[in-house]
């Protein structure tokens, strides 16, 4: 079918977050953690932000400014105000506040974006991205972070394609390095004991075709020994090479997905649905995104349900971000992998057969 790009931009975040929410309800944490891996000496640091300055480095980051609500009824406006994102003692803090705010109603990249078309929401927060300032194909991406807690919080560290070569979301892919919702509330995960705290983090891929024919797959994970992601800093990472993406927390390799379990099908210039070749869509440049959402289709529908206004302010704290490329093969990223052979292999999905 013919893709309406304006409409597609509007639904991108909505479906992304809704899909992550659905995944959260069915994915299970890895039961037996494995020892930390030893990282390859052939990773070369190519980009970093240690957040040592007094202000955010605008040569590396841009703010998204809108009250769009992510397309799935999130309750925050994203602003560029210092109170929602600032650096303090070498830590970037993205802060969600309970306060009514009015701002643009559309997502920043849509043709309908206009400061005059406004919406008012009851919370504020920030969403930062490196688009056209930090864009990479393959590498190791490390983010040392401390997560917020409480019902209605939704922190995310993730990546989107910069050029959308395979069409709109999710034909061109999405990489979720880390997401979590409602940490330290009572989990509603099946099979858990009563009063078990929510401590899961999630790593996910989104791919397939443009919405609504997109698919996703991933893995949930709990830190060893009952550690709480909201109590301390932990290093969330992926290693991404041609045909394979691996997820890590504190260098524990907890999941792998391979190109045999992802695909891209998109409309070519002649309007014909075709298969992306090779390891598409995860063979193009992606950029980083950091945000803290409030509410939305995932957070408000699980655990205690809704949003607890008494917990705010809450913050997503980032100590550093470091990006590495594999010097053994920059063009493929192959040769630097820290791999545990018996870790969870995410099955993913096989491309549907296209009509001839």
Mind telling me the catalytic residues?
A: 174, 179
Cβ burial, residue 165 (10 Å; 0-12/13-18/19+): middle
Do residues 244 and 256 lie in contact, with contact meaning Cβ atoms separated by under 8 Å?
Answer: yes
What are the angstrom distances between the C-alpha of 312 and each of 32, 147, 242? 34, 13, 41
Do residues 84 and 126 lie in contact, with contact meaning Cβ atoms separated by under 8 Å?
Answer: yes
Residue 186 per-residue DSSP state: B
What are the angstrom distances between the C-alpha of 259 and each of 66, 149, 177, 282, 343? 35, 34, 17, 8, 17
Q: Which residue has the tokens 């930090």?
A: 134
What are the angstrom distances between the C-alpha of 56 and each of 51, 92, 124? 7, 8, 18
Report the sign of the C-alpha dihedral through residues 302, 307, 311, 312, in that order: positive
Q: Which residue has the tokens 């002649």?
A: 270
Tokens describing residue 169: 């979301």
């Amino acid at each position: 079918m013919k893709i309406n790009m304006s409409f597609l931009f509007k639904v991108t975040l909505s479906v992304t977050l809704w899909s992550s929410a659905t995944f959260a309800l069915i994915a299970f944490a890895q039961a037996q953690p494995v020892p930390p891996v030893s990282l390859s000496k052939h990773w070369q640091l190519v980009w970093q932000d240690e957040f040592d300055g007094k202000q955010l480095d605008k040569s590396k980051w841009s703010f998204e400014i809108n009250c769009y609500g992510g397309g799935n009824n999130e309750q925050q406006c994203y602003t560029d105000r210092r109170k929602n994102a600032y650096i303090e003692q070498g830590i970037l803090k993205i802060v969600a506040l309970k306060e009514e705010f009015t701002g643009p109603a559309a997502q920043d990249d849509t043709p309908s974006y206009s400061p005059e078309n406004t919406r008012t929401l009851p919370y504020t927060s920030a969403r930062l991205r490196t688009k056209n300032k930090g864009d990479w194909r393959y590498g190791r991406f490390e983010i040392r972070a401390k997560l917020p807690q409480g019902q209605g919080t939704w922190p995310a560290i993730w990546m989107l394609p910069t050029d959308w070569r395979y069409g709109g979301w999710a034909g061109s892919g999405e990489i979720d390095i880390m997401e979590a919702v409602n940490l330290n509330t009572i989990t509603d995960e099946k099979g858990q004991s009563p009063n078990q705290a929510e401590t899961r983090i999630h790593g996910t891929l989104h791919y397939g075709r443009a919405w609504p024919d997109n698919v996703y797959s991933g893995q949930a994970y709990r830190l060893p020994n009952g550690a709480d992601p909201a109590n301390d800093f932990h290093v969330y990472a992926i290693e991404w090479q041609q045909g394979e993406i691996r997820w890590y927390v504190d260098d524990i390799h907890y999941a792998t997905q391979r190109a045999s379990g992802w695909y891209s099908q998109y409309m070519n210039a002649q309007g014909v649905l075709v298969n992306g070749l090779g390891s598409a869509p995860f063979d193009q440049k992606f950029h980083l995104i950091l945000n803290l959402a409030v509410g939305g289709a995932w957070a408000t529908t699980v655990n205690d349900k809704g949003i607890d206004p008494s917990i705010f302010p809450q913050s997503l704290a980032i100590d550093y971000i470091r990006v590495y490329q594999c010097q053994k093969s920059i063009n493929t990223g192959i040769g630097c992998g820290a791999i545990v052979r018996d870790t969870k292999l995410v099955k993913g999905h096989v491309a549907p057969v296209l009509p001839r």
